[in-house]
A and B are shown apart, each in its own frame.
Chain A
Amino acid sequence: MKKLIALLLAAVMTLSLAACGSGDEAKNSDDTKNADSSTEDSDQAQEPEDEGDNAEAEGDDASGEPYKAAFLVNGNLGDKSFYDSANEGLTRLKEDLGADAFDFKVEEMGGDPADEANWEPTLLDYCDTGEYDVIVIGTWQMYDALLSAYKMYPDQKFIFFDEPFDFEAEGNPDNIFNMMFKQNEVSYLVGAGAALMTTSSEIEGIDPANSIIGFLGGMDGVLINDFLVGYIQGAKDVNPDIQVAVAYVGDYIDSAKGKDLSLAQFQNGADVSFNVAGNAGLGLIEAASESGKYAFGVDSDQAALLPDYAASIPSSALKNIGNALYLAIQEDMAGTLAYGTTKSYGFAEGGVGLVMDAHYEEILPESIRTKLAELQESIVNGEIEVKSAYSMSTEEVAEVVNSVKIQ
């Protein structure tokens, strides 16, 4: 009996830990990230715009106080991706506008289960000071905290990123700006790239005979499936006969399991895969490296971060949250930020991007690169509309996945 109780306890612990673990990681991985290298192109594109906003910001300045933002991180900086990207965007804005026009404070609230209880009180404390023009928070984990905060402080403005805010259900509050990222767009490009690669005879280690590609997701949720739906659409558009081996790790931490799942995909004919599974996705990258195959990176420029495995990583899908914040806050300074609405940042807005550097050019032959550039162009000008899992039912997503399953 005693043993049984011990056993049950162990089982409960396992489950609860698994739950905590995945929740913890979700923000790290899903709520995807960005590497500095990719932002450069878009920075340049923004320059003229910046100057215009500069003038306006200076105009505000005359009235005294700088515009102040608080960025509450439900995790820690130093993740080399998601939160660091946001921090980088704010830092860049401060540098560009000057500290007397824009200032911000970052509060690292910690991401461990034990820290979660502090998130909401911290948010309310910040609202209570009334010092900040805008409070920036993000990820689904902060949703409940935001729900209580925006009601208690109707005059406080919030930017809420990477989780859709249900404006209708909440009675259309006008103090929240919801910032979303079109990961499906960049994922479309990755899918097309993978599909083109797997039948190419120009790339080392690829068997052009079959057209199978892989996908490794963290958990079966809307955000991961948003990546997946775009990935499949892109792959199908360039090769209607494409087959996609889809696997989910079940969490975002079990890299060893991610590696096993990926090895099974590669052994069954996949040549290229895409990891959207946080740290578990590192297992895919190792598996690709060991099998002499390829894996696309996600969140950050993983080829740059993992030099030992770079030869297996043609490119990475990025979410440039820093860019989006940079733009949104300037809009807010000018008074044109559309509070009470959701805005999605895609290719056109510089919110997402595919790393296209020298390393990318080295691995992918020119024909594929040209095609991908064309596809990106078509997405930007609206010729291609990428489906999103956010506007699909679970059944519709399953239908898309099943249409490309290996027979």
Chain B
Amino acid sequence: MLNGIFSVEFVNSILRATTPILFATMASSVAAKAGICNMALEGMMLLSALFGVLFSALGGGIFGAATGLSQFASFGVGFLLTVLVGGIIGMIFAFCILQMKADEILAAIALNLVASGGTIMLLMAVTGEKGASNAIASVAAPKVTIPLIESIPVLGKILSGQNLLTWLSLLSVVVMHLFLYKTPMGLKIRAVGENKDAAESVGISAKKVQYIALTISGMLASMGGFYLSGGYMNMFTRDMAAGRGYIALAASSMGADTPIGGFLVSILFGIAQAVANLMQLTTIPMQLIQMIPYLTTLIGLGVYSYVRMKRRKRLLQSE
């Protein structure tokens, strides 16, 4: 058990578990900052997981799926198309709740249900299978080996050989942080999320801003979905998002909907999951182990609420 925790593989398994949640957490953050609770993340991820397989297979058809440059090109085509479709799904979701004034929670539930059934239907239409996409020769995201760093013991094995999307997910934290806090559009998004009417009174079109936020949210969620079927696994299996969209929603909330906060909580969830996986090798009863990720969430939420309550009290006192 201890050997397991201090191994390179353990760090890798944390990163594997964190990557999809991290993307989705960023997706949730940007939507939440614009004042929308994007509960449709689960469905967006699931749809993108299937599209990722289909589009990267398409790319594979054009460039070939061999390793090296052609794999990169095939992956690139698949990834970009998937993110594009993810953005469109985000827009459709935005259209439903902003234009058609549907309740955002109900619209999200609808989208999640459509994704669950729709992916199976689409899979059936394309491959004739209902369970998994193994019949499609999809192209997974390449792993990034870094020449010199590779040879450093331990650290080299962690830094080099990671999936490209894992790096991208870490990068997305920085990008989202800069976007939300250092750009005019980020300011507008936050303003709309903080107080829609106030934002509109100074000439910001709240609807437009929320459209943009949800499109970005959809694109980020689709990256997480792509990773599920083209990085974590190498095929699509039905309902493979398995609740990660909801976990990301919780992670984002716990991180006060900030990219950095969400990142820290996602890592925490990733660690909890990886520890739980390793602990199944021990004699500790499985039921206790399976509690760990949820227990971590609960404790994290408790701590978060407590800190917030304290802060609010202090604020009240200072007034």
Contact = CB atoms under 8 A, between A and B. Distances in A.
Query: Do the two chains bind?
Result: yes
Interface of A: 3-4, 6-7, 9-11, 13-14, 17-18, 21, 25, 28, 76, 78-80, 112, 114, 220, 245-248, 250-251, 253-257, 259-261, 263-265, 267-268, 279-280, 282-283, 286, 305-306, 308-309, 398, 402, 405-406
A79 B131 contact: yes
A297 B290 CA distance: 25
27 contacts: A6-B249, A7-B254, A7-B301, A10-B249, A14-B247, A21-B239, A28-B131, A78-B130, A79-B130, A79-B131, A220-B287, A245-B281, A246-B280, A253-B239, A253-B240, A255-B240, A256-B233, A257-B242, A260-B16, A264-B9, A264-B280, A279-B237, A279-B240, A280-B237, A283-B233, A305-B134, A309-B134
B243 A78 contact: no
A78 B124 contact: yes
A279 B116 CA distance: 14
A278 to B, nearest CB: 8
A254 B233 contact: no
Given A17-B246, A21-B242, A76-B130, A255 B237 contact: yes
Given A6-B253, A220-B287, A406-B281, A259 B242 contact: no
A59 B99 CA distance: 69
Contacts, number: 133
A333 B160 CA distance: 67
List the 7 closest A-B pairs by CB distance, nearest first: A254-B242, A14-B246, A247-B280, A256-B232, A253-B239, A255-B237, A279-B237
Contacts of A259: 232-233
Interface residues of B, number: 52
B283 A405 contact: yes
Given A220-B286, A248-B286, A279-B238, A260 B274 contact: yes
Contact of B233 (A76, A79, A282): A282
B4 A253 contact: no
A405 B280 CA distance: 10
A41 B61 CA distance: 40
Contacts of B247: 14
B286 A14 contact: no
A248 B286 CA distance: 8
A279 B277 contact: no
B232 A17 contact: no
B234 interface: yes
A286 B234 contact: yes
A280 B129 CA distance: 16
B105 interface: yes
Contacts of A268: 4, 281
Contacts of A76: 130
Contact of B305 (A4, A25, A286, A398): A4
B17 interface: yes
B228 interface: yes
A7 B238 contact: no
A259 B277 CA distance: 10
A200 to B, nearest CB: 23
Interface in B226-261: 228, 232-235, 237-240, 242-243, 246-247, 249-250, 253-254
Given A7-B301, A279-B132, A283-B233, A260 B290 contact: no
B39 interface: yes
Contacts of B145: none
B235 A264 contact: no
A31 to B, nearest CB: 14
B290 A14 contact: no
B70 interface: no
Contacts of B297: 11
B233 A13 contact: no
B253 A3 contact: yes
B71 to A, nearest CB: 16
Nearest to A76: B130
Contact of A112 (B117, B237, B246): B117
Contacts of B283: 402, 405
B250 A251 contact: no
Contacts of A250: 290
B233 A264 contact: no
Interface string B127-142: 0011110100000000
Contacts of A248: 280, 286, 290
A70 to B, nearest CB: 23
A375 to B, nearest CB: 28
Nearest to A262: B277
A216 to B, nearest CB: 10
Nearest to B248: A10
Which of B17, B273, B283 has the most C-beta atoms of chain A within 10 angstroms of its own C-beta?
Answer: B283
Interface centre among A10, A268, A398 (most CB of B within 10 A): A10
Contacts of A78: 124, 130
